[in-house]
Amino acid sequence: MTNFLIAARNLLRNRRRAAIALLTIGGAAIAMVLADGFVQWILWAMREGTIQSQTGHVQVVRPGYFQSGAADPFAFVIPQARPERQEIETTPGVKVVAPRLSVTGLASHGETSVAFIGEGVDPAREKDLSKAFRIVAGKNLAGVDAHEVILGRGLARALGVEAGATVALLANTRSGGINAVEARVAGIFITGSQAYDNTALRLPLGLAQTLTRADGAHAWLVLLDDTERTDATLRALRTRYTKAAGELAFVPWYERADFYNKTVALFSQQMGVLRAIIAVIIVLSISNLLVMNVLERTGEIGTLLAIGFRRRRVMQQFAIEGLVLGVIGGGLGVAAGFGLGELISAIGIPMPPPPGMEEGYTGEIRVTAGVLAQAFAIAFVTTATAGLYPAWKASRLQVVDALRHNL
């Protein structure tokens, strides 16, 4: 403790240089907190958007559905009468289990026909699961048996319809025939993908089953109260339904989120490069400042060596000064970064529409304990590393030459 107090007093002897060092370290820590926090918010928003619009936390399907379901989707329908859906919904941590039936075909209005990709859903169970769907005209689906649909904005434009219009849906049935139904356009929605909005529609599960003559659903989407519980819930479900392993498969969301996984890998590499650049800046800046400190205190170092201080003790004292700078600068930077992150999040960051989207969004800074700890660790380690060379240089000074420096 005495060594740390001596190091702090030595730093205070030249307040200007110490202030510059602390500003350098703190500024680097702030930059890492804000940059990493913004990236973490983007990844978090993308993850939750993927879960709440496409995959749920766990999907329950027939084995082989994702590999062969596109060629023969009706061979993988889970019958409506199966009791497992109600049982899964009673599992601790499960908020809702929502059935979905995939439908493809043609949507027609007047003389215009457009291919669509649709989903039959239970509107009551989709409130928490489909938060990424935003109704921009009309209203959402009313009930599971209503004769109405909601269209993606791009699909509505292609058909030339608005809320309140009537469209005809044509699709293949389970038996290989063709069936058609008429439905009123209840509303128009947008999501985070313009390409999806150009071809997508949703209809009540009952109407989808009537259209396809399929009694059941292709998937049950399990939504949890916490994404972090995905793996634990997945293990529990697989263990609980071991006997049904040949009839039901449980697939976690991250196995169906290829775009998200690749985005995480890309952003992680970019943040790694940014951290490396900031680390180099800290090392070069702090090392230069501490070398100047050693040069100015050459006479003092000679005196210490002359009265019997070991070279190792001298090196240790100067190295501790780097540690003190790292602790104080990293701590102040992390605290300031946290405050700025919360302030910026409260105000919001207006962002332009990214590729594939029609509308912009408001970004935030997601400052987590991991972000703060990583920023502090990099600031502290790099500053401590930067102090090693000046400390070694100070310990290698010749006593006679150092004492002569005061003359």
pLDDT higher than threshold 90 for residue 117: yes
Beta-carbon contacts of 34 under 8 Å, excluding residues fewer than 6 positions away, are: 337, 340, 341, 344, 365
Q: Are 100 and 217 within 8 A, CB to CB? A: yes
Give percent of the chain with pLDDT exceeding 70. 93
Q: Are 216 and 206 within 8 A, CB to CB? A: no
- What pLDDT, on the 0 to 100 scale, is given for residue 403? 65
The predicted model gives 321-337 an average pLDDT of 90
The values of phi and psi at residue 91, to 5°, are -70, 135
Q: Are 120 and 214 within 8 A, CB to CB? A: no
Q: How many CB atoms lie within 10 A of CB 268?
A: 11
- What pLDDT, on the 0 to 100 scale, is given for residue 326? 87
Lowest mean pLDDT among 106-120, 216-230, 236-250: 236-250
How open is the CA angle 173-206-51, to the nearest 5 degrees?
95
Q: What is the pTM of this model?
A: 0.81
Beta-carbon contacts of 14 under 8 Å, excluding residues fewer than 6 positions away, are: 293, 296
How open is the CA angle 368-373-377, to the nearest 5 degrees?
155
The predicted model gives 321-327 an average pLDDT of 85
pLDDT higher than threshold 70 for residue 235: yes
Using CA atoms, how far apart are residues 366 and 250, in angstroms rounded to an integer? Answer: 31
How open is the CA angle 62-68-71, to the nearest 5 degrees?
120
Q: Are 142 and 116 within 8 A, CB to CB? A: no
Lowest mean pLDDT among 4-13, 64-73, 360-369, 398-407: 398-407
Q: Return the DSSP state at 218.
A: S
Lowest mean pLDDT among 86-100, 132-146, 222-236, 311-325: 311-325
What single-letter amino acid sits at 289? L
pLDDT digits (tens, 9 = 90+) for 158-204: 999 999 999 999 999 888 889 999 999 999 998 877 888 899 999 99
- What pLDDT, on the 0 to 100 scale, is given for residue 166? 94
- What pLDDT, on the 0 to 100 scale, is given for residue 386? 86
Tokens 């941590």 correspond to 93
180 or 83, greater pLDDT: 180
Half-sphere exposure of 103 (CA within 13 A, CB side): 36
Using CA atoms, how far apart are residues 26 and 41, in angstroms rounded to an integer? Answer: 22
Lowest mean pLDDT among 117-126, 150-159, 205-214, 243-252: 243-252
What single-letter amino acid sits at 199? T
- What pLDDT, on the 0 to 100 scale, is given for residue 356? 67
pLDDT higher than threshold 60 for residue 407: no
Beta-carbon contacts of 68 under 8 Å, excluding residues fewer than 6 positions away, are: 75, 76
Average pLDDT of the chain is 87
- What pLDDT, on the 0 to 100 scale, is given for residue 245? 52
Lowest mean pLDDT among 28-42, 176-190, 216-230, 276-290: 276-290
What single-letter amino acid sits at 160? G
68-79: b or e for each residue (b if 16 or more CB lie within 10 Å)? ebeeebbebbbe
Domain residue ranges in the chain: 2-49+260-404, 63-247
